[in-house]
Structure 1
Amino acid sequence: MSDQLREMARPSLFPDEGTLYLNGLERPVTIRRDPFGVPRIEAETLDDLWFAQGVVTAGERLFQVELALRTATGRLAEVFGERIFEDDRFIRTIGLHRAAARHLLAWTDEDHHIHGRFRAGLRAWIDTAPALPVEYTLLDLTPDVPDDPLPYAAAFAYLAWSLSSNWESEVLRAELDEQLGRDAAELLMPRAPSAHGQGSNDWAVAGSLTASGEPLLANDPHLLVSQPGPWLELHLAAPGYEARGVALPFSPGIILGATPHHAWGATNVTGDVQDLFEETVNDEGTAARYRDRWEPLVLHEERIAVRGEPEPRTVTVRETRHGPILTHGTAGVLRTTYWPLDRPYALRWTGHESALRPSLPLDVARARDVEEFRSAVLQIGCPGQNFVYADVDGTIAYQCTGWYPLREAGDGTRPVPGWTGEHEWLGWIPLDELPNEVNPDRGFVATANHDIQPRGYPYLIAKDFHLPFRNRRIEELLERRDDHDVSSMRAIQMDTISRTALETVSLLLRVETRSDEQAAAVKQLGEWDGDLRADSEEAALFNVWCAAIARRVLEPRIGEGLFTAYHSWRETFQGSVLPRLLREPDGWIDDDLLRAALDEAIERTDGVTWGELHRLVIAHPLASIPGLEPMFTAADVPFGGDEQTVAQGGFDGSLGFRPAVIPSWRVVWDLGGLERSLGVVPTGVSGNPASAHWNDQLELYVGGGAKPYGFAPPPTAPPTLTLVPS
């Protein structure tokens, strides 16, 4: 069956040599590929470069482009039917398409022009392709990739949404307040951990700490597991622009990468850019109270088409001065579930007002020095990012970006009354006062979604950040030597030592054992080095023991539903709450509970390694259809790490141990010789399962390898595809 389906997919493969005649080109464009199929696109004009990028993107990732646009505009149920309706309803409620209409007003003439050329390239391939990608055949679809820029602006808004926080933690705190009281809720949701999901690592090292005497820069963005991956590797060159790195599938340019002059990387700030306002709505559901008056609600009638149903479903979205009223909360990382909210929470979100613009990659690449680079990235309103920078002149730098609200009252950790007018947003933290560093004395800058607010910082970016352990481990490894090179940078990226695990184990070992099996397990963990590598039996025992403790401690107190929502944020409990409870049990934990949980862990992990429990499955959306799983599964391999290791392997604690968030790209740039730079993605360039480049980087990725990322043309001429004006 799989072989037959791959043969069906083969006619739609994008060519890697020959000539393509295309309407819309001005001059010929050449496309050459490295052994892993990464395209090097060379054009004589920028207009043709963006057009050709659109052609290549459609040729390799057309179905992914369409899914990105449908996801962002709440139109997935048109393709997948009833089972995806709740996702569409939620996206229509938060209103990414409505936000996109506002964002388009901020697009410059350059934004519209370059994105128009990119869209023209997408459509040129659709008009020229000898066959459509196999997904269209299997789903009986025709491509719906419009020329209208609004769905693409909505895709930028969806990217901002996926990297924004902290409305979910506000809902959880409110639920825990109600069930357990404020003190217990504070214990379970302390102010350090952040929402589950998507982080990253980045750092830049000055020449004083490198073997070459020139800077190095490393980046590995942590995003949800997906196939094809979220990035398309590219090398783009035209007069006035050259960059190599990764691109988004719905917009032109290199979003993260390097030029011959400088390199940059980014991590998510995890700033608090979302607030919930509990509204007072009148009995008719038509107005919300604000101070001494009733203000009419804005009503949006959303018609959602569902495959197999004769008429669209109508959803009415209500909106107050603070934003749309949410009807459902969400839980889960790998699989989102929805549960009804019993209070009218209106969402205020920075992303309703700002998102990335298409010209940002150009401005970043055209920067001639660190100050121009900082000016370019400070244009970003949402999602806020921690950028690191290094250039061939020896400069390294860090810049926090984004719009963060100045609140009249409150700290953004819980829902606030919407009717009093006492918790309004008054503006944004001044951009020139966001945290930043240039050439610090310690010789490096590094971020890992931790609290980046300096001591005494006069503003509040957030209370909820990821725990600091990844960043501390990175800094520890950077400080160990003064002769770093590309190999040492890659070794840091692959590090699976968990300082959190070592701390927690030291506390768990205090348990008084009652059986030989328990004693042996405790002895085994006592000799463990805290390395969550895939072949570690101790890592499996430790994680299953912690999960069993969490369920026994929490489920009787908060119920199965709330426990599932809470424990999907596993970092909160295992990284912060559990160590505190082990130090100060205060009625939450005793030795009987620890022994019972240990017995469960012993039974479940006898001879089992962490990689056997923690298998990385990378699958295309169509892999969920019976019979298609073998063809559309790109990876099913043992995987190390967790959310607290530098080598990210975070998982949804409510769904076992399957990795949910991984490094979506690993790269190390050597500014002393870019030809020594190395990078890798989890699977490959192509979204076509018949392609040799569907998952040809998997072995490198899992094994800690990488491929060359230099700028020079290959020493031997590879096959060349030429795009020619029709």
Structure 2
Amino acid sequence: ATSVRTAKIDPISLDYKWQDMGYPFPGPGFTAGSNSWVVSPKFAGGKTSFLANDPHLPIFYPSTFQEIALDSTPAGGTFRVRGMSIPGLPGVFIGANDKVAWGITNLLADVDDVYIETMSTDGKRVKFLGREVPIEKRRIFRKVRQSDGSLDTQKIVVRWIPHHGPVISDHLPGVLLPPGVILSYRWTGHEGSTGVAGLLDLNRATDFDNFKKALQQWESGPHNFIYADLKGNIGYYAFGRYPKRPDPLRVVAPYLPASGMGTYEWEGYQRTVPELYNPPSGKIVTANNDPYGRNATEQLGGFEEYFGYRFAPGARAKRISDLLNQNKGRINTEVLKKIQFDHKDLIAVRVINMFRKIAQQRHTASAELNKNQILQTLLRWDAVADRNRKEPVYFYTWLSTLMEMYYSRLGVKEWLSNFMISHAAVTSMYHGMQKAQKTHPELVQELFEKSLEAATNKLNRWPDGVPNWGTAHRLIVTPPLSKLLEDPVTVPIPRDGSWFSVDVSGYGAGFEADQLGLPTFYGPNFRMVVSLDKGRGIQIQGVSPLGNGGALDAFSGVQELSLWQNGELREFVNFIE
């Protein structure tokens, strides 16, 4: 791997700051992400360091991750590692060997670009740096399993811009472009990677240097990797290819489509990598927020230090860090298990505080408003999205209604349907309303009262009264190919949490008015807590929604699902001695 420099980062940027996106036009798409953290023995209050990880992804059966213990040493091999892996992937993706443990969250750095390509008159070439470059056609083969068990080889022909990548507009029928214009996509992963070799070396790592050298082969798809070892060391490393983009002060934001004619080409890769090793705080927390803390300001002036735009704002990271600080000196597996299953929503705290200020203003504090059950209940709510309580139903119904009304003013609600379920949508609305409070308070008050009225009407449509959160908000577990099945088996499971709690439980904030429910397919694919102690070695506890089985009616799967639903852990699979 190419030599790199360590980037100086403030540990607080990783694990504590509110980091609202400061860039205009925040990107669409949800950023629920994952959680991971590590604490030193000194912080924990003993001789043991701890590492915790819970990746958040769509939950299917069979499970995406499989629990394995891989020991090749009896046959003279070098692998003795256990944890979670993905079928087809060699080694352990997240876990521990006999010396070190590691966890992962998505870094969400910006490692791709969309280019607006101008074609030649015959449509066979694109204009680039004053010349015309032929468009290539690349064949991609894939094997598809048939109902009789055989494999059918299918060929896909993809148009490819040699200096950028595939023509993605060929596969986006809903995108309307002018004649002679196409869109190409450049991604660091198209340039190849030695990530598999890096993963195997990671499984054999014995110290932080080995850990970093292994990850320096992980060149595409950068992640936050946290680290702990039996000697009490903790660390963080986020190696990857991070494009160096030209003209950082340009008017067009670097995350918007750029000209493909050669004026916005990558100038190699950044050589600085976010890293921490034994920080004085004694802890490191990652939850998909900006490792540099550059988005901690409400509005950035330019793109001189641009690293990405889809980072989570820090609500989960702050909540995790707060809970760790509250338990400093008495950290154990039980404490970390409770943190992973925490359901307090700091975004809800922020929005409710805004509601409170608006409601207390003299000209909105009408008798009718004071009698509104939803408002008065929410003003007393502690923002814990417990499945046995009604307040979350009140709040998220009102929040989604408020967001629909707020973004409808822009005339882009349909275009923003995916954006509406992101952290950026809520925080952008929050800051917009905060600013408008100073300049156009009457508009904010009108939006506040109309959204409350509309939410009240929605809630009154529940035939048997407003239910508890777990009734309205259920995890729907399906097979990955459920859309292709006529009658797929699904399992609705009452869920705690929200999009913004530590125990993430995704849902669509677009809230279908005729559905009156908030189904979710998203959450921790597993939870894992690792303790590292010289005397007792490395111990792992964890749980996944359905275990290693693929059958919903299997007793082991039902047992595992109950543990997962209630925030419990069990001992991980161990080696056969």
Superposed CA deviations along residues 334-355 of structure 1, whole A, max 9, x for unmatched, are xxxx732425221110111134
Instruction: Compute the TM-score of the two structures, normalised by the length of structure 2.
Output: 0.81
CA–CA separation in structure 1 for the residues paired with 2:31 and 2:304: 28
Aligned to 1:382: 220
**Matching residue within 279, 282, 285 for 1:446:** 285
* Structure 2 unaligned residues grouped into runs of 5+: 2-20, 148-152, 296-302, 460-464, 513-517
SS where residue 161 of structure 2 aligns? Answer: strand
CA–CA separation in structure 2 for the residues paired with 1:587 and 1:315: 54
CA–CA separation in structure 2 for the residues paired with 1:348 and 1:513: 54
Aligned to 2:433: 581
Q: Residue 508 of structure 1: CA displacement? A: 1.8
* Structure 1 unaligned residues grouped into runs of 5+: 1-105, 107-184, 331-337, 715-726
Contact 1:226 1:619 in 2 (8 A): yes
| 2:361 matches 1:361 | no
| 2:225 matches 1:225 | no
SS where residue 316 of structure 2 aligns? Answer: helix
Contact 2:31 2:311 in 1 (8 A): no
CA–CA separation in structure 2 for the residues paired with 1:427 and 1:198: 30
| 2:344 matches 1:344 | no
Label 1:579 to 1:553 Cα distance change in 2 as closer, same or farther (>3 A): same
Aligned to 1:373: 211
Partner amino acid, structure 1, of 2:384: D
| 2:321 matches 1:475 | yes
Superposed CA deviations along residues 80-121 of structure 1, whole A, max 9, x for unmatched, are xxxxxxxxxxxxxxxxxxxxxxxxxx9xxxxxxxxxxxxxxx
Q: Residue 625 of structure 1: CA displacement? A: 6.2
Contact 2:316 2:501 in 1 (8 A): yes
Partner amino acid, structure 2, of 1:551: E
SS where residue 659 of structure 1 aligns? Answer: coil
| 2:529 matches 1:668 | yes
CA–CA separation in structure 1 for the residues paired with 2:558 and 2:551: 10
**Matching residue within 586, 601, 620 for 2:479:** 620
SS where residue 386 of structure 1 aligns? Answer: strand
Q: Residue 675 of structure 1: CA displacement? A: 6.7
CA–CA separation in structure 2 for the residues paired with 1:255 and 1:550: 38
Structure with bigger RCO (C-alpha 8 Å, 6+ apart): 2
Contact 2:29 2:418 in 1 (8 A): no
Q: Residue 320 of structure 1: CA displacement? A: 4.8
Aligned to 2:508: 652
Matched residue count: 514
Contact 1:552 1:593 in 2 (8 A): yes
Contact 2:28 2:416 in 1 (8 A): no
Q: Residue 217 of structure 1: CA displacement? A: 0.4
Aligned to 1:698: 561
SS where residue 294 of structure 1 aligns? Answer: strand
Q: Residue 587 of structure 1: CA displacement? A: 6.3
Q: Residue 390 of structure 1: CA displacement? A: 0.6
CA–CA separation in structure 1 for the residues paired with 2:51 and 2:22: 38
Contact 2:343 2:503 in 1 (8 A): yes
Superposed CA deviations along residues 228-270 of structure 1, whole A, max 9, x for unmatched, are 1210101111212211111110122111101121110011110
CA–CA separation in structure 2 for the residues paired with 1:579 and 1:458: 23
Matching of residues 40-119 of structure 1 within 5 Å: none
Label 1:538 to 1:250 Cα distance change in 2 as closer, same or farther (>3 A): same
**Matching residue within 346, 349, 362 for 1:499:** 346
CA–CA separation in structure 2 for the residues paired with 1:279 and 1:269: 29
Label 1:313 to 1:711 Cα distance change in 2 as closer, same or farther (>3 A): closer
Deviates more, 1:672-681 or 1:360-369: 672-681
Matching of residues 319-718 of structure 1 within 5 Å: 319-327=161-169, 339-342=174-177, 344-355=182-193, 357-410=195-248, 412-419=254-261, 421-430=262-271, 433-453=272-292, 460-480=306-326, 481-509=328-356, 510-511=358-359, 512=364, 515=368, 519-555=372-408, 557-559=410-412, 561-567=414-420, 569-584=421-436, 589-605=443-459, 606-621=465-480, 623-624=482-483, 628-629=487-488, 632-633=489-490, 635-654=491-510, 656=512, 657-672=518-533, 673=536, 677-689=540-552, 691-709=554-572, 711=574
Aligned to 1:75: none
SS where residue 267 of structure 2 aligns? Answer: strand
CA RMSD in angstroms, aligned pairs only? 3.2
| 2:114 matches 1:276 | yes
Q: Residue 416 of structure 1: CA displacement? A: 1.4
Deviates more, 1:315-324 or 1:284-293: 315-324
SS where residue 524 of structure 1 aligns? Answer: helix
Q: Residue 460 of structure 1: CA displacement? A: 3.6
Q: Residue 503 of structure 1: CA displacement? A: 0.8
Aligned to 2:71: 237
CA–CA separation in structure 2 for the residues paired with 1:187 and 1:359: 36
Q: Residue 533 of structure 1: CA displacement? A: 1.8
Contact 1:328 1:341 in 2 (8 A): no
Identity %: 25
CA–CA separation in structure 2 for the residues paired with 1:553 and 1:187: 19
Deviates more, 1:196-205 or 1:470-479: 196-205
SS where residue 471 of structure 1 aligns? Answer: helix
SS where residue 387 of structure 1 aligns? Answer: strand
Superposed CA deviations along residues 513-539 of structure 1, whole A, max 9, x for unmatched, are 653686322111110111112223111
Partner amino acid, structure 1, of 2:530: W
CA–CA separation in structure 2 for the residues paired with 1:198 and 1:258: 25
Label 1:621 to 1:201 Cα distance change in 2 as closer, same or farther (>3 A): closer
Label 1:313 to 1:489 Cα distance change in 2 as closer, same or farther (>3 A): closer
SS where residue 217 of structure 1 aligns? Answer: strand
CA–CA separation in structure 2 for the residues paired with 1:441 and 1:303: 51
CA–CA separation in structure 2 for the residues paired with 1:471 and 1:221: 14
CA–CA separation in structure 1 for the residues paired with 2:492 and 2:256: 39
Contact 1:504 1:579 in 2 (8 A): no
Partner amino acid, structure 1, of 2:422: R
CA–CA separation in structure 1 for the residues paired with 2:34 and 2:332: 21
SS where residue 696 of structure 1 aligns? Answer: helix
Report the structure, 1 or 2, having the larger helix content.
1
Superposed CA deviations along residues 382-422 of structure 1, whole A, max 9, x for unmatched, are 21011111111111111112111011234622111111x22
Aligned to 1:267: 105
Partner amino acid, structure 1, of 2:97: T
Superposed CA deviations along residues 133-167 of structure 1, whole A, max 9, x for unmatched, are xxxxxxxxxxxxxxxxxxxxxxxxxxxxxxxxxxx
SS where residue 563 of structure 1 aligns? Answer: coil
Contact 2:546 2:552 in 1 (8 A): no
Partner amino acid, structure 2, of 1:426: E
CA–CA separation in structure 2 for the residues paired with 1:642 and 1:554: 21
Contact 2:69 2:575 in 1 (8 A): no
Deviates more, 1:223-232 or 1:293-302: 293-302
Contact 2:397 2:511 in 1 (8 A): no
Label 1:341 to 1:383 Cα distance change in 2 as closer, same or farther (>3 A): farther
SS where residue 478 of structure 1 aligns? Answer: helix
CA–CA separation in structure 1 for the residues paired with 2:222 and 2:80: 25
Contact 1:513 1:519 in 2 (8 A): no
SS where residue 192 of structure 2 aligns? Answer: coil
